[in-house]
Chain A
Amino acid sequence: MLGFFMKLSPAARIAAVILLVYVAVALSGPLWAPYSFNAVLTGGPFEPPSTAHLLGTDNLGRDVLSRVVYGSRPVLAMALSATGLATLVGAALALPLVLQGGLADEIGMRILEILASVPPLVLALLLISGLGNGNILIVLAVAFLFAPRIARVVRAAAMAVVVEDYVTAALTRGEAMWSIAVREMLPNVAGTILVEFAIRCGFAVVFIGALGFLGFGAAPPAPEWGLMINEGRANINASLWPVLAPAAAMAVLVVAINLFTEGLARAIGDAPGTAP
């Protein structure tokens, strides 16, 4: 673990530390946050930063710092679970297809391509407005959008592995498909999957934030950063803090994820994807 950390570039090491801080804040926040996220009138509305309210208060006199701290919980939980689910599904679809080859692979690949040709935000908005905007539904919607895109990346990596002798040997031995996929191929595409997972985590944070900002994410008074930015926007003339604090929290998180991903990719020896 420590050895791997030392292999990272300095920028990626700083990013890793920042990410650990975010995780620590999300886990321990409720223990030390000065106020509850929805306690109103902890001070007057739009108070500037003070010792009582380090990041000021919002229009309802809620403590901005506490809300930003609590807000790290849904964003991390949702981004990680959506990306994790999408990666799991993507890999589980791609590896058997590549092993199978032939017509099954061709058809599967085409279906994945079609699913990946929907503008993600448009489909997410339609899905959420139809199904409802519970956190679990948002996670499922994001996973549904990401899974085919991840599957394509995993498939491309697996194509290079499937022609290796050890896979041919396993096939000749008559091993079961799942066993070859998991024991022979997975270890050799794990690096690609890990990097893809990390890249997508960054996308997921932005994507879920955008849904909250557009009013398609968590409902008020949830301490969700995108939602907080949208709510604070209406009163931006009265105070900048309710907008800038969650915006900065989100921006730093995404930048840290991306820097860490680049370092990770370089340490594993795999170029990071550059397409949006």
Chain B
Amino acid sequence: MLRLVVTRTAFALVSLVIVSALIFWCVEWLPGDAASRILGRDATPEVLALLRHKLHLDLPGPVRYLQWLGGAVRGDFGTSLAANQPVLDYVWSRAANTTELAGFVLLLYTPLSIGLGIWTAVSRGRAVDHVASILVILGMCVPEFVVGIVLIVIFAMTLHWFPPLALIDRAHSIGSVLSMLFLPAMTLTIAMTAYAVRMMRENLIEVLDSGYVQMARLKGLPRWRVLVRHALHSALGPALNVTALNIAWLMGGIIVVETVFSFPGLGRLLIDAIDLKDVPVVLAVSLLLTVVYIFCNLLADIAVLLLNPKLRHAG
């Protein structure tokens, strides 16, 4: 068991290094290099060459990649070309915003998906289940930017309950931060919950039909007790697995949803930095999102391993 987890983790780290090289290589293709972007169009070739040398741009790609990776490991991502301040400070404040958003999403997502998952499983075949399955399909299929805009139209423009934009840097109280975060958080929660409910429902139904749950029921245990002690226990693995995959999905979801709501987070920062060709920031944000993505996929794998008794004792 431990060996499996260690191998998976080691492989995830190797993947991360290779993927970071892939990202670095992609960013190399951005038209024009940093020196010509800093100096503008009127720079003389001599000055350009000087600055290139100063920024180590005259070194071959692989060497610069290793320098960058070495810096990144120590937390030094260089200086932002657009903001002219250390990338890390810049990225950090945005990452804090995104973490707040993601935290709020998990706060909504966890009770919603557990509650709805159980409810739809136990009321299988009834009206609730049919309505829920339609909502699940909608939540899974309809793109986040469409969901976000529909929420804005309903809750911001028509009902005026929440602001249409989430410019939380300008908010002054916790109340206003929460009301700004609500619509973007809801947009992300809808997609994530849909996947989780579907997964939980299928799993719970399988467990509820299994021999040992039938047995527990025949013993005369109360319904809720059967559910909590027997059924939920075995649904835990799949639930953790789908949650980890959902958080990995967030690494793309935030890019779209932060754009919809003009939310000053990592996703928006990535888009802005690409527009400004701010290479150090693009690299830092891409790497950060990739780290979380790979880590969550690893957790999803480990959740399956840990909670499957057959695999738990293997290897």
Complex Cα spacing A142 to B293, Å:
18
In the complex the two chains form, is A125's CB within 8 Å of B274's CB? yes
On whether the beta carbons of A122 and B143 are closer than 8 Å, the reply is no
Most-contacted residue by chain B among A119, A240, A247, A258 (CB, 10 A) = A119
- A255 CA to B297 CA, complexed, in Å: 26
Q: How far is the CB of A234 from chain B (nearest CB, A)?
A: 11
Cβ contacts under 8 Å, A247 to chain B: 146, 149-150
Bound: A213/B144 CA distance, A: 11
> In the complex, how many angstroms separate the beta carbon of B285 from the nearest chain A beta carbon?
8
Query: Does the CB pair A123–B23 fall under 8 Å?
Result: yes
Asked if A270 is at the interface (CB within 8 A of a chain B CB), the reply is no
B144: chain A residues within 8 A (beta carbon): 210
Hey, what's the 0/1 contact readout for B288-315 against A, CB within 8 Å counting as 1?
A: 0110011001000000000000000000
Q: Are A274 and B19 in contact (CB-based, < 8 A)?
A: no
* Residue of A120, A209, A210, A244 with highest tally of chain B CB at under 10 A: A210
B211-251 contacts to A, CB under 8 A, are: 242, 245-246, 248-249, 251
Question: Closest residue to B198 on the A side, CB-wise?
Answer: A274
Asked if A118 is at the interface (CB within 8 A of a chain B CB), the reply is yes
- The answer to whether A229 and B22 touch across the interface, beta carbons within 8 angstroms, is no
- Also in contact, A126 and B27, with CB within 8 A (given A251-B141, A251-B146, A276-B245): yes
- A125 CB contacts on chain B under 8 angstroms: 255, 270-271, 274
Contacts of B30 in A (CB 8 A): 129-130
Whether the Cβ atoms of B150 and A122 lie closer than 8 Å is no
A255 and B22 in contact, given A125-B271, A243-B149, A275-B245 (Cβ under 8 angstroms): no
A127 proximal to B (CB < 8 A) = yes
Instruction: Take A214-B271, A236-B157 as given contacts and tell me if A121 and B252 are in contact as well, using a CB distance cutoff of 8 Å.
Output: yes
- B-side contacts of A110, CB under 8 Å: 11
The answer to whether B246 touches A118 (Cβ under 8 A) is no
Least CB distance from B117 to A in Å reads 13
Number of interface residues, chain B, beta carbon within 8 A: 55
- Per-position 1/0 for A15-40, Cβ under 8 A of B: 00000000000000000000000000
Within 8 A of B (CB), among A107-155: 110, 113-114, 117-123, 125-127, 129-131
B19 touches A118 (CB 8 A): yes
Q: Is the CB of A118 within 8 A of B290?
A: yes
CB of A223 within 8 A of chain B?
no
Contact assessment for A126 and B141 in the assembled complex, using a CB-CB cutoff below 8 Å:
no
Looking at B28, B146, B191, B259, the one whose CB has the most chain A CB atoms below 10 A away is B146
Q: Check B89 for interface membership: any CB of A closer than 8 A.
A: no
Q: Across the two chains, which residue of chain B brings its CB closest to A111?
A: B18
**Structural contact, A114 and B274, CB atoms closer than 8 A:** no
Interface centre among A110, A215, A251 (most CB of B within 10 A): A251
The minimal Cβ–Cβ distance linking A76 to chain B, given in whole angstroms, is: 16
Least CB distance, B29 to chain A, in whole angstroms: 3
| Complex CA–CA separation, A82 to B260 (angstroms) | 26
Q: Most A CB atoms within 10 A — which of B143, B198, B256, B282?
A: B143
Q: Is A129's CB under 8 angstroms from B251's CB?
A: no
* Chain A hits for B297, CB < 8 A: 117
A217 at the interface (CB under 8 A from B): no
B199 touches A274 (CB 8 A): yes
- The answer to whether B145 and A229 touch across the interface, beta carbons within 8 angstroms, is yes
Q: How far is the CA of A244 from the CA of B22 in the complex (A)?
A: 38
Q: Does A99 contact B (CB under 8 A)?
A: no
- Judge whether A65 is part of the interface by a CB distance below 8 angstroms: no
Judged by a CB distance under 8 angstroms, whether B9 is at the interface is no
Q: A202 interface residue, CB < 8 Å from B?
A: yes
Known: A122-B252, A255-B138, A274-B202. 20 other contacts (CB 8 A): A110-B11, A117-B293, A119-B251, A121-B256, A122-B270, A125-B271, A126-B23, A126-B274, A129-B30, A129-B274, A130-B30, A209-B145, A210-B145, A213-B143, A214-B271, A215-B271, A243-B149, A244-B153, A254-B143, A259-B137
Enumerate chain B interface residues (CB-CB to A < 8 A).
11-12, 14-16, 18-19, 22-23, 26-31, 137-138, 140-146, 149-150, 152-153, 157, 191, 195, 198-199, 202, 242, 245-246, 248-249, 251-252, 255-256, 259-260, 270-271, 274, 282, 286, 289-290, 293-294, 297
Residues of A within 8 A of B (CB): 110, 113-114, 117-123, 125-127, 129-131, 202, 206, 209-210, 213-215, 226, 229-230, 233, 236-237, 240, 243-244, 247, 250-251, 254-255, 257-259, 274-276
Instruction: Return the 5 tightest CB-CB contacts between A and B, nearest first.
Output: A130-B29, A121-B252, A126-B26, A119-B293, A254-B141
Ordered by A's residue number, 22 sampled pairs between the chains whose C-beta atoms are within 8 Å are: A114-B15, A119-B248, A119-B252, A122-B270, A122-B286, A125-B270, A125-B271, A126-B26, A130-B30, A202-B141, A209-B145, A210-B144, A210-B145, A210-B252, A215-B271, A229-B145, A229-B146, A236-B153, A250-B146, A258-B137, A276-B245, A276-B249
